[in-house]
Amino acid sequence: MPTRVFLLRHAEAANPHIFHGAESDVDLSERGRRQAEAIAPVLAAQAPQVVIASAMRRAIETATPIARACSLELQVEPELHERRVGALVGTPKRGHDGVWPETRRRWLAGDTSHTLPGAESFDDIHRRVLPVWQRVTTEHAGKKLVIVAHAVVCRVLLLSVLPGYSIRDWHNVRSVNVAINELFHDGESWRALRLNDLPAEVASAG
């Protein structure tokens, strides 16, 4: 039986206009709670057998309605937490022209080990999250899984497991809140059935 994964970023976090990272364990905004409730029946209709979330509150609060709609117990994977961002935590996203754009530029140029003190590089995240992905997809081979993680984590996973993708595809695997990345494994390799797909029911809830 093939394995199918519905990978998504958590719903909108409280104060979404600043960098949170792994250092800021905020909950969802009111809009985020509406998004979480809206995505739950959409994913439940796919009849997943496993629902997994990172241990951060914004991921758990997104995954809990999904697990409830599926009558499943939520499984928590702490190592799927968001990227550690160091000095960026708490700073505004809009108009930011410093550390993060330079980091992203260096990554896209192939320097995926680049980071600043206290923050994780692309390579750091890869080493942290790929073993979790490999373990849970092997343990639940032949099943449908929902995995709720974080923006950069989702991007690193997609760029790491999909054949033909590399860091240069960073902008092609966007991470909109609760948009679905549906991945299919036929026993040989992963392929994407859809990327960054935001169901109409969820878009209208936001």
144: CATH? 3.40.50.1240
| Span between the terminal Cα atoms of the chain, in Å | 36
Section 143-164 average pLDDT: 97
Cβ neighbours for 9, distance < 8 A, ≥ 6 positions apart? 148, 149, 150, 151, 154, 175, 176, 177, 178, 179
Share the mean pLDDT of the chain: 95
Query: How many CB atoms are closer than 10 A to CB 46?
Result: 13
Residue 57: predicted pLDDT: 98
Question: Does pLDDT of 134 surpass 70?
Answer: yes
Q: Could you give the CA distance from residue 96 to residue 104 in angstroms, rounded to a whole number?
A: 12
Question: Is 31 within 8 Å of 178 (Cβ atoms)?
Answer: no
| Range 137-142 average pLDDT | 98
Number of domains in the chain: 1
- pLDDT of amino acid 95: 60
pLDDT of residue 96: 56
Between CA 51 and CA 71 the distance in angstroms is 10
Q: What percent of the chain has pLDDT over 90?
A: 84
- The mean pLDDT of 72-98, rounded to a whole number, is 88
Question: CA–CA separation, 110 vs 135, rounded Å?
Answer: 27
Question: Residue 97: pLDDT band by 50, 70, 90 thresholds?
Answer: low
Q: Radius of gyration (Cα) for the chain, nearest Å?
A: 16
Q: What does the alpha-carbon distance between residue 71 and residue 86 come to, in Å, rounded to a whole number? A: 38
- Give the structural domain span for 138: 3-205
Which pLDDT tens digit goes with each residue over 115-128?
A: 999 999 999 999 99
Distance of CA 117 to the CA centre of its chain: 23
Query: 169, 164, 174: which is closest to 110 by C-alpha?
Result: 169
Residue 17: strand pairing partners: none
33-65, pLDDT tens digit by residue? 999 999 999 999 999 999 999 999 999 999 999
Residue-level pLDDT at 119: 95
DSSP label of 53: E
